[in-house]
Every structure is written in C-alpha cells, then in structure tokens.
Amino acid sequence: MRHRGEYDDYDNTLAEFRLLPAALLEVKRSFESRAAEFAALIQNDEYHIITGAGSTWPAAWYYGMCILEEMQWIRTRPVHASDFFHGTLELVEEGVSVIILKGEDAARPLVERVEAFVPRVTDRIAVFDTAEFFLPGFSASTRALLSPVLLATVLERVSAHLEVLRDHPLTTRRYYKQLQY
C-alpha cells in the first residue's frame, strides 16, 4: 500500500508499532482482574451470542468458533453486528449472554447500535471496547488498525482463566485431530 501511494502515514505507523510489545504487555496486565471476573461470570453459561464489525468481526468469529466452541465446548453464535437485527435479535432474551467487541474503526457505529439495543432485553452483556485500553504514543489511525490485536491480547487472558475454572485445557478435543473425518 505504501509503494502504491495508498498509505501516507507508513513511517509514523511503523514507529508506533515499535511501541507495541511493551504496550500490549501493559494492556494484558491491566486487564488481568477483569479477565478473571469475566471468565468466572461466563464459565457455566450454555450459550453466548458474540458480535463485532469491521476489524473486530474476525476476532468475534474466531473467539466464538475456535475458543468458546472448539476449545471449551460452549455453544456460541458469532454474528456480524450488521446482521444482528436480521434474526439474531429474536434470540436475545433475559439471561442470554451477549458479548460485544468494539473497535475503533469506521464500523464502530454498527456495534454501538447492537450495544444500545441489547440492554433493553438482557442483563447478560459484556462489552470489550478497545478504546478503553491505555496506549500512550499511538495515534487514532494506528489504534484502529490494532483493535483485533488488542482483543486477541485480552481474550487470551479470558481463555486462560476459563481453562482453569472449567478444568478444561484448551488442547482437549473430542473429535478435532482425534478422529479421521
């Protein structure tokens, strides 16, 4: 993109990326107690709806499909925030867990629409908003790029706590790489 003239702020973005390892470590440290609390809250839930949009959609899909379902055997419905009001909203009722992943890119309003609706129906809401993470020295444009990285960082900590609380290692599978299919 830089060589085609599609990305003007390459040098500044690269300089900010050099700050990333230390920044992610601090995000992880600051989130640890919240990760433990969230894992304890959801450990026995049978079903979650997880949503995101833009750069957070792959994180929502991955966390729901690969971590909660495949690795923890918790039923999960990943749904893009733009599709939330095309069916999924009818599955939300009191007691249903909705996990909302908010990034800092142009798709944020799609997620905010879901976030505004869900409290009218259920009290089981968790919002992971990357704008809440302290990242000194990062511009808004770089933060928008980093939303999935930030979510992966904090959700990894949730996964580590779930693994212990549920006594279910993330490597335990019934079928995946256990049977030929």
CATH fold, domain 10-165, is Rossmann fold (3.40.50)
Mean pLDDT of 87-109: 95
Digit-coded pLDDT (tens) for 147-156: 999 999 999 9
pTM beyond 0.85, yes or no: yes
Report d(CA 41, CA 158) in Å as an integer.
11
